[in-house]
Amino acid sequence: MAARTSSRKYQDVLCFVFLILICLCKGQDSPLSSMEKKEQEVIYSVIEGLVGKWWNGSYLYPDPCGWTPIQGVSCEQYDDGFWYVTAVNLGQVFDNSLICNHDAQFPEQLFNLKHLKVFSLSSCFLSPNKYPVKLPISNWEKLSNSLESLTLRSNPGLVGTIPSTIGCLRKLQSLVLLENGLTGELPSSIGNLVKLRQLVLAGNDLVGEVPVNYGRFSELLIFDASRNNLSGALPSTMKFLNSLLKLDLSNNMLRGELPRKLGRLKNLTLLDVSHNKLRGGLAGTLEELVSLKDLVLSNNPIGGDLLGIRWENFQNIETLDLSNIGLGGSVPESMSQMKKLRFLDLSKNNISGSLSKSLENLPCLRALHVNGNNLTGILDFSERFYSKIGRRFAAWNNANLCYVTKPTTQMPYGVKPCVQEITISEGVPTVKINEGYYEDSFVVASLGSSSYVFYELWWVFIVNGILNVFLWNMSF
């Protein structure tokens, strides 16, 4: 019986080993490890050109799409049964990414990866003087049927112009050329990439105008061309970017007015055109941007005032920065109806009049900047408001603005306290709050020193009593 059991176990072990051998043998011809030799050689060449000659792909990664995958390289199996490279992400992208060599070059072999969908290089070309690299002018058409995302980020050594041939990448959905050393004008051919959902060209040295045909991006969600040297006016065709969520053209040299039809962008949540040379006042069409969360127009000579816009329509806005845009007039009461507003900056303008106490009713407000204007009158916000905002309430450099203090009130930084002027008229003391300091007053007691006010009032009554007694004795 024991011998029969032992034999049975022996047979089971042999069957198990036999099955493993079958799986291993099949694995040699299985699609998991099946990759065209040419495709393998191309991906090795691409990585070696970026990482360095020391990198030996055939030794380190004999099966790039199978048992020994390369960091940053992804593959997919196609109908012919072979696996092909579909994504290459090199440089400082992920924690375990392959890092580019100091003398890395743009890999021309890349265009032979016929199923490539995603290509990303980060911090690969770092020296514009010793090792400048330019984008290839030709061969982009080889990727026209596959490439969906092209990202070149933080490469100051990537110089020269954006090749117009990039416009042939008809399947491209994301084009990110961020913080490189690119120069020249925006290619109008990019307007042919009608499937784009993200276009980021920020942080380069691009010049010229935004091409008119960039209004053809009906599916575009993000357009960021900030921190360049773009000039001219914003094209009116931008009104056709119906899907746009974020538009950032800040830190350029754009001129003219905000397009009147900008209000058609009903889905826009961020509009940042700060640090340009825009004029023409605040367009009334802005109030039609009902989805806006962040509106930043600061540092433009826009001019005008705040009264022409119904601010109560901005029920989703959280950040409103209108600093240093040449505004005049007063602050309208309707600004206190933006219930989600967290940050309001009206600093460095020519705004006059008083600041409404109703602003403290904004439930989400955490920062209020009105410094550097011509505001007058008395700040009479509650103690709760001052304690909630603290130093984030900026109201200095308003010469005729003062605040009323209370025993526990936190003083608004840089604003003088309103003062009391106490005079004696026919033996009856009168107290009056004035806006500012009056050194020629008979007795001046600052409310900022509230602990002394009671003492000083008693002193006035004592002096008044002594004078009355003295005058009464003199009459006899």
pLDDT above 90 for 469: no
pLDDT above 80 for 25: no
pLDDT above 90 for 366: yes
Do 364 and 388 contact (CB within 8 A), yes or no?
no
What pLDDT, in 10s, does the model give residues 388-404? 998 999 999 999 999 88
- The pLDDT of residue 453 is 39
Residue 156 tokens, joined = 């100051």
- The pLDDT of residue 180 is 98
Compute and round to an integer the Cα radius of gyration of the chain.
35
Region 149-164 average pLDDT: 97
**Exposed e or buried b per residue across 280-310, where buried means at least 16 C-beta atoms within 10 angstroms of its C-beta:** ebbbebbbbbeebbbbbbbbbebbbbbeebe
Q: How far is CA 35 from CA 59, 110, 111, 219, in A?
A: 16, 17, 18, 36
Look at 129-143, 254-268, 394-408 and tell me which has the smallest mean pLDDT.
394-408
Residue 225 tokens, joined = 């061309």
pLDDT above 90 for 22: no
- The pLDDT of residue 53 is 87
Region 49-67 average pLDDT: 90
What pLDDT, in 10s, does the model give residues 166-208? 999 999 999 999 999 999 999 999 999 999 999 999 999 999 9
- The pLDDT of residue 397 is 96
- The pLDDT of residue 471 is 47
> Phi/psi class of residue 308: alpha, beta or left (left: φ > 0; alpha: ψ in -120 to 50)?
alpha
pLDDT above 60 for 1: no
- Nearest CA to 419 out of 407, 398, 402, 406 is that of 402
Q: Give 423's pLDDT tier (boundaries 50, 70, 90).
A: low
Mean pLDDT value across the chain: 84
Residue 57 tokens, joined = 């792909």
- The pLDDT of residue 268 is 97
- The pLDDT of residue 474 is 47
- The pLDDT of residue 285 is 80
- The pLDDT of residue 347 is 98
Look at 168-172, 201-205, 286-290, 468-472 and tell me which has the smallest mean pLDDT.
468-472
pLDDT above 70 for 9: no
Q: Give 287's pLDDT tier (boundaries 50, 70, 90).
A: confident
pLDDT above 90 for 448: no
pLDDT above 70 for 124: yes
pLDDT above 90 for 376: yes
Residue 120 or 420, more confident: 120
Q: Give 111's pLDDT tier (boundaries 50, 70, 90).
A: very high
Q: Give dist(CA 49, CA 60) in Å, integer.
A: 16
Region 249-271 average pLDDT: 93
pLDDT above 80 for 304: yes
